[in-house]
Amino acid sequence: MKQRTIARPVEMIGIGLHKGEPVKLRLEPLGEDAGIVFYREDLAMSIPLSPKSVINTQMATVIGGEKGVISTIEHFLSAVYAYGIDNMRIILDGSEMPVMDGSAIGFCLFLDEAGIQEQAKGKRVIRIKREVEAREGEKYAKLSPSQSASFDFKIAFEHPAIGLQKKYFELSTTNFINEIARARTFGFVRDIQYLQSQNLALGATLQNAIGLDDHRILNPEGLRFEDEFVRHKILDAMGDMMVLGFNILGSYSSFAGSHKLNFELTSALLADSRNYEMVTIESLQSREFAKSFA
């Protein structure tokens, strides 16, 4: 399997979830080994995709520095991860990715519009060699060696619409589109006033999030999946793992994971070279992994 970029530039305008402001998003192809690069055209500022670029994980994954930031990148990056894209420039004229409908399906359609272009060099991935974990009390996120790529997530909320949910997902572009991409972000009404006082969730509506009061789901259309909440957690985890800049050959598992724990996990992984190795898919014994991106 070869490295991938997009076949042609594409452009759209959307609204940011936390700032509630219009933002223009443009995707452009990049050459082999260029990686995934974010660019704030209003600031003439490039931000390479790496855990070292992460500066905040309070309500979303935020990358950048003193000059400027780009927030809420995880939904978009989950689609990039699922499509196996290695090289691309993401150009924005504001500080946040568009929220779309609160899921990743709109970004999947956007990537479909751009098309996928295979390149000459072999696709490089991160192969997990040793178990790595980030933990906070009973909450954890973990990467383990495996011959396939999978995500296993469990959540527990004391809310009648959520409760205990668990989902196992084996990576496949097709399965991502069918099982994960349409799962929306969610939030509780009781938290909105505080979040908005912190200049967060200013663009949140029932058109781009699942809203809950103390007893029920507020969206008139209901849920897209019975376990939509844990499916969205997998979506977030995939996007947060893509901050590494490469797909992972290994298994991810979590109980009550968060952007913070995912960031700590990727940082811990890279902190010791014995935890992983960079390999091309052609050199792997696991031929099934390449089929994940078919």
Known catalytic membership, residue 259: yes
**Highest mean pLDDT (candidates 10-19, 41-50, 283-292):** 41-50
Whether the predicted pLDDT of 285 surpasses 70: no
Helix axis angle for 74-83 and 228-241, nearest 10°, is: 80
Q: Which structure tokens are listed for 24? A: 């223009």
The span from the CA of 153 to the CA of 148, in Å, is 16
The residue extents of the domains of the chain are 2-122, 125-291
- Cα 222 to Cα 30, 166, 207, 230, 234: the distances in Å are 40, 19, 12, 16, 20
Q: What percent of the chain has pLDDT over 70?
A: 99
Kindly report the pTM of this predicted structure.
Answer: 0.95
Task: Quick: pLDDT tens for 216-245.
Answer: 999 999 999 999 999 999 999 999 999 999
Q: What percent of the chain has pLDDT over 90?
A: 85
Q: Using only C-alpha atoms, what is the Rg of the chain?
A: 18
- Cα 287 to Cα 3, 95, 148: the distances in Å are 16, 40, 9
Whether the predicted pLDDT of 195 surpasses 80: no
Task: Quick: pLDDT tens for 83-129.
Answer: 999 999 999 999 999 999 999 999 999 999 999 999 999 999 999 99
Task: Quick: pLDDT tens for 252-274.
Answer: 999 999 999 999 999 999 999 99
Dihedral of the CA atoms 87, 151, 183, 38 (nearest 10)?
-20
Whether the predicted pLDDT of 202 surpasses 90: no
Q: What is the band of 193 on the pLDDT scale with cuts at 50, 70, 90?
A: confident
Find the mean pLDDT for residues 25-34: 98
The span from the CA of 213 to the CA of 193, in Å, is 13
Whether the predicted pLDDT of 288 surpasses 80: no
CB atoms within 10 A of CB 278: 10
Q: Which CATH class is domain 2-122?
A: alpha beta
Q: What is the band of 162 on the pLDDT scale with cuts at 50, 70, 90?
A: very high
For residue 212, the model assigns a pLDDT of: 93
For residue 286, the model assigns a pLDDT of: 60
Pick the CATH number of 125-291 from 3.40.50.300, 1.10.630.10, 3.30.1700.10, 3.40.50.150: 3.30.1700.10
Reference 1, options 173, 238, 143; nearest CA is 173
Whether the predicted pLDDT of 289 surpasses 90: no
Q: What is the band of 192 on the pLDDT scale with cuts at 50, 70, 90?
A: confident
Q: What is the band of 190 on the pLDDT scale with cuts at 50, 70, 90?
A: confident
For residue 181, the model assigns a pLDDT of: 98
